[in-house]
Amino acid sequence: MTLTAEPQVTVATHCPYCALQCGMSLSGTAVAPREFPANGGGLCQKGWTSGSLLTTPARLTTPLVRVEGELVPATWDDALDLIARRITEVQAGHGRDGVAVFGGGGLTNEKSYLLGKFARVALGTSQIDYNGRFCMSSAAAAGNRAFGLDRGLPFPLTDVGDADAVLLVGANPAETMPPFMQHLRKAIDSGGLVVVDPRRTPTAEQARLHLAPAPGTDLALALGILHALVADGLAAMSYVDRRTRGFEAVWQIVARWWPERVERITGVAAADQRRVATLLAKARSAYILTARGTEQHASGSDTVSAWINLALALGLPGRAGSGYGCLTGQGNGQGGREHGQKADQLPGYRKIDDPAAREHVARVWGVDPASLPGPGRSAYELLDALGTESGPKAMLVFGSNVVVSGPRSAHVAERLKSLDLLVVADFVLSETAAMADVVLPVTQWAEESGTMTNLEGRILLRRKAIDAPDGVRTDLEVLNGLAQRLGQPAERFPIDAEIVFTELREASRGGLADYSGVTYGRLHEGEALYWPVTGTGHAGTPRMFLDSFAHADGRARFVPVEHRGPAEPVDDEYPLIATTGRVLQHYQSGAQTRRTDELNALVPEVYVEVHPDTAARSGLAHGDWARVVSRRGETTARVRCVASMRPDTVFLPFHFPGAQRANLLTNPALDPASRMPEFKVCAVRLTTEDGA
Ligand code: SF4
């Protein structure tokens, strides 16, 4: 008898990592790239190796409960009973807000939605936020101010492929999302790519012009370029008159920021500022795109507003073949902020303090609008309040590793330790899970179906490709199990993703992010649906703002913003600026990519990039271990001497745990509008490992 292997079913799905959401095919755990407009058939190293996550030996398959200091296996019933009992006790003693929920920008839309509903209905707490607050919240705040609506890219990414000029600000897609670079090919080849970044990144290497401002000064740089544009008569004044409001108030500030003055603050030559203004103004098709380098500042929202002001003065937003956009980072950074896991929002991108929004969502949920809590604390404020007299005493974490990714992370760890109950749902024992009282082993990407919304606002179906191991449950099943134990009817918290999505569609109907016309059937058919999709006969909205912006009068707003500089200036004790970021081989806190052997072998440890002269002044050489010390803590990192680094700046990737956490250093000074911490600038000193 001849045995023939069962033919492996190939499933069309999407990468588990970043917001590009590259199309891929899975046959079992074997990954192959798949033609999809955002990635054009390409994958990066993270995508190629993502199949190995499905067989990782680090996989959790049984709930764990802390007994006498140790995490020991437990049954699902025992773990969920324990959580429900402790939640009830905490809320009896400290009120509904005694329990908090922390979500993640990698969760599917269905999970994000049900998590928000679980917090507001089953727990009745206002204390819910998510790690997307640390990602693109400043761009969201600035986009809402300018356009009345925030969608990362309000146009398909492929449109950028036709541009002859692109200004990338604080973005390094050559490392963070390499297939994106194909969309810059024309701009690169025609000499139209300009990159603003304090570091000479692989993306900057491909640019015609690389502007390297001192970290924390790119708001001033935007003012200088805008000044040059207007002073040289290059601004699109007929567009400004027709489609915007507020230019005069902005010009009153910008008039004081002529390029030579900006050069003294940023270090970017006045002539280069003028060259950028001219290049963008003369381009037939141009885009300004921002990312974390612009946003992760205590003045992040204003900094993004400054670049949007420049885009408006160029007449780019809402013009076919041109525009402004934000490159969202996390896989579902876009959808995650639209469906209710943000402290101040309800599904459909509705404001939680809007009576009409509360009425609508409460009706869908079958509850009294008056029973819905109001806005809660933002992510860092929530973490900072844990265990304090007025703060939550228990927290449930889904899809987030805050002890690595949060700013001032030693303090975050202290706050987590002070809780009466910490519950973490994850598929591996992340650093945050290792601190928990209860760990719940949940499914990962290819083991379940669900929708994601990529950086273009396009809704995608991630299809289940393989069965989860025995012992593992979905996040939806976890929420259902807990909700029932807290007295909720089972049907209020469905465990089927498509049923949850059907409810999400109703909850979002009429909101800014209206998904009411999106169905699993349409997604299975491969329809390209960009929100809003206002009915099942509606084709969606690939390009926004072509006729009008989302403000009531249809016009975009210039927002007057002033340069403030970093929250923490350097001084004699801390003379260098540390900035943090990402590397090609790792994703976010590294909880997944550090467990992928191929990736971890390439970048196994944290490093600090430093100019050779700066290293020498600190008694350090390439390859040494160094201590990097800030006012909040210190980390140990391997020295990489990089001649292109600014001598006043060092760089550390933030993907590593324990004593190698870059976020031991970072400053939790918050942006007033977005509550984004200042990840990108903090004052440090560099010493040898023994502190000499
Ligand atoms: Fe594509 Fe991002 Fe996945 Fe890389 S990590 S394959 S760029 S989705």
275 and 190 fall within a common domain: yes
Report the pLDDT averaged over residues 304-318. 98
pLDDT above 60 (res 4): no
Q: Is residue 194 part of a domain?
A: yes
pLDDT above 90 (res 162): yes
What's the gap in Å between 449 CA and the centre of ligand 1?
18
Ligand 1 contacts CB of residue 43 (under 6 A): yes
Q: Which ligand 1 atom is the nearest neighbour of the CA of 177? A: 7
Query: What span, in angstroms and rounded, lies between the C-alpha atoms of 398 and 130?
Result: 9
143 and 110 fall within a common domain: no
- SS3 call for 158: helix
In the numeric block, which tokens belong to residue 510?
């009429």
Query: Average per-residue pLDDT in the chain?
Result: 95
Query: What span, in angstroms and rounded, lies between the C-alpha atoms of 71 and 57?
Result: 18
> Of 327, 350, 379, which residue is a domain's last?
327
Ligand 1 contacts CB of residue 179 (under 6 A): yes
pLDDT above 70 (res 220): yes
Report which of 643, 633, 647, 619 is spatially closest to residue 682, judged by C-alpha positions: 633
Query: What span, in angstroms and rounded, lies between the C-alpha atoms of 538 and 555?
Result: 24
**Burial label, 182 (beta-carbon count in 10 A; 0-12, 13-18, 19+):** middle
Ligand 1 contacts CB of residue 20 (under 6 A): yes
CA 275 to each of CA 262, 278, 281, 434: distance values in angstroms, whole numbers, following the listed order: 14, 5, 10, 52
Report the pLDDT averaged over residues 71-77. 98
276 and 193 fall within a common domain: yes
Proportion of the chain above pLDDT 70, given as a percent: 99
Ligand 1 contacts CB of residue 174 (under 6 A): no
Report which of 525, 524, 523, 505 is spatially closest to residue 515, judged by C-alpha positions: 505
Q: What are phi and psi of 674, to 5 degrees?
A: -105, -15
CA-nearest residue for atom 7, ligand 1, is 177
What single letter denotes the amino acid at residue 192?
A: G
Query: What span, in angstroms and rounded, lies between the C-alpha atoms of 134 and 680?
Result: 11
The structure tokens 């006969």 sit at 537
The answer to whether the beta carbons of residues 662 and 644 sit under 8 Å apart is no
264 and 355 fall within a common domain: no
- SS3 call for 484: helix
Report the pLDDT averaged over residues 179-200. 96
What single letter denotes the amino acid at residue 275?
A: R
CA 434 to each of CA 60, 402, 428, 429, 522: distance values in angstroms, whole numbers, following the listed order: 12, 12, 9, 6, 41
How many Cβ atoms sit within 10 Å of the Cβ of residue 558? Answer: 24
- Is the ipTM value over 0.90, yes or no? yes
Q: Which ligand 1 atom is the nearest neighbour of the CA of 47? A: 6
Q: Which ligand 1 atom is the nearest neighbour of the CA of 18? A: 2
Query: What span, in angstroms and rounded, lies between the C-alpha atoms of 209 and 600?
Result: 33
User: pLDDT digits over 127-145, tens only?
Assistant: 999 998 888 888 899 999 9
The answer to whether the beta carbons of residues 330 and 18 sit under 8 Å apart is yes
Test site for ligand 1: of 13, 17, 172, most ligand atoms within 8 A of the Cβ: 17
pLDDT for the residue 692: 61
Q: When comparing pLDDT for 432 and 335, which is higher? A: 432
The answer to whether the beta carbons of residues 258 and 229 sit under 8 Å apart is no
In the numeric block, which tokens belong to residue 98?
């005694």
The answer to whether the beta carbons of residues 281 and 228 sit under 8 Å apart is no
Q: Is residue 526 part of a domain?
A: no
Query: What span, in angstroms and rounded, lies between the C-alpha atoms of 311 and 301?
Result: 15
Residue 311 maps to which CATH number?
3.40.228.10
Instruction: Name the CA radius of gyration of the chain, rounded.
Output: 24
Report which of 340, 325, 347, 337 is spatially closest to residue 142, judged by C-alpha positions: 325
Q: Is residue 506 part of a domain?
A: no
What's the gap in Å between 39 CA and the centre of ligand 1?
8
Give 2's pLDDT tier (boundaries 50, 70, 90).
very low
pLDDT for the residue 356: 97
Q: Which ligand 1 atom is the nearest neighbour of the CA of 48? A: 6
* E strand segments, 8-47: 10-14, 23-27, 30-33
Test site for ligand 1: of 13, 31, 43, most ligand atoms within 8 A of the Cβ: 43
Ligand 1 contacts CB of residue 42 (under 6 A): no
Report the pLDDT averaged over residues 93-104. 97
Report the pLDDT averaged over residues 165-189. 96
What's the gap in Å between 46 CA and the centre of ligand 1?
6
Lowest mean pLDDT among 347-356, 507-516, 586-595, 596-605: 586-595
pLDDT for the residue 3: 43
Test site for ligand 1: of 46, 455, 583, most ligand atoms within 8 A of the Cβ: 46
pLDDT for the residue 7: 53
> Any idea what the Cα angle at residue 60 is, between residues 54 and 64, rounded to 5°?
165
pLDDT for the residue 589: 85
pTM above 0.90, yes or no: yes
Query: What span, in angstroms and rounded, lies between the C-alpha atoms of 472 and 56?
Result: 14
Max CA-CA distance within the chain?
A: 86
In the numeric block, which tokens belong to residue 603?
């970048």
> Of 474, 496, 518, which residue is a domain's last?
496
- SS3 call for 420: coil
Give 331's pLDDT tier (boundaries 50, 70, 90).
confident
Residue 390 maps to which CATH number?
3.40.50.740
What's the gap in Å between 44 CA and the centre of ligand 1?
5
Ligand 1 contacts CB of residue 39 (under 6 A): yes
What's the gap in Å between 456 CA and the centre of ligand 1?
14
Q: Is residue 565 part of a domain?
A: no
486 and 601 fall within a common domain: no
CA-nearest residue for atom 3, ligand 1, is 47
The answer to whether the beta carbons of residues 504 and 339 sit under 8 Å apart is yes
pLDDT for the residue 588: 87
354 and 397 fall within a common domain: yes
Q: Is residue 345 part of a domain?
A: yes
123 and 148 fall within a common domain: no
CA-nearest residue for atom 6, ligand 1, is 47
The structure tokens 């004081």 sit at 256
Q: Is residue 359 part of a domain?
A: yes
350 and 319 fall within a common domain: no
Give 690's pLDDT tier (boundaries 50, 70, 90).
confident
The answer to whether the beta carbons of residues 64 and 75 sit under 8 Å apart is no
Report the pLDDT averaged over residues 262-291. 97
User: pLDDT digits over 508-560, tens only?
Assistant: 999 999 999 999 999 999 999 999 999 999 999 999 999 999 999 999 999 99
SS3 sequence of 279-321: HHHHCCCEEEEECHHHHCCCCHHHHHHHHHHHHHHCCCCCCCC
pLDDT for the residue 6: 52
Q: Is residue 17 part of a domain?
A: yes
Domain that holds residue 231: 137-327
33 and 70 fall within a common domain: no
CA-nearest residue for atom 4, ligand 1, is 44
Report the pLDDT averaged over residues 290-303. 92
DSSP-assigned letters across all residues of 368-411: -GGGS------HHHHHHHTTSTTS-SEEEEES--HHHHSSSHHH
Q: Are strands 193-196 and 165-169 parallel, antiparallel or unpaired?
A: parallel
In the numeric block, which tokens belong to residue 392?
């939550």
175 and 319 fall within a common domain: yes
371 and 427 fall within a common domain: yes
User: pLDDT digits over 7-61, tens only?
Assistant: 568 999 999 999 999 999 999 899 999 999 999 999 999 999 999 999 999 999 9
479 and 580 fall within a common domain: no
CA-nearest residue for atom 2, ligand 1, is 18
Ligand 1 contacts CB of residue 516 (under 6 A): no
For the chain, what is the domain count? 4
Give 580's pLDDT tier (boundaries 50, 70, 90).
very high
What single letter denotes the amino acid at residue 389?
A: E
Q: Is residue 505 part of a domain?
A: no
Residue 666 maps to which CATH number?
2.40.40.20
> Of 271, 302, 327, which residue is a domain's last?
327
Report the pLDDT averaged over residues 276-298. 95
Q: Which helix (H) or strand (E) holds 639?
A: strand 634-641
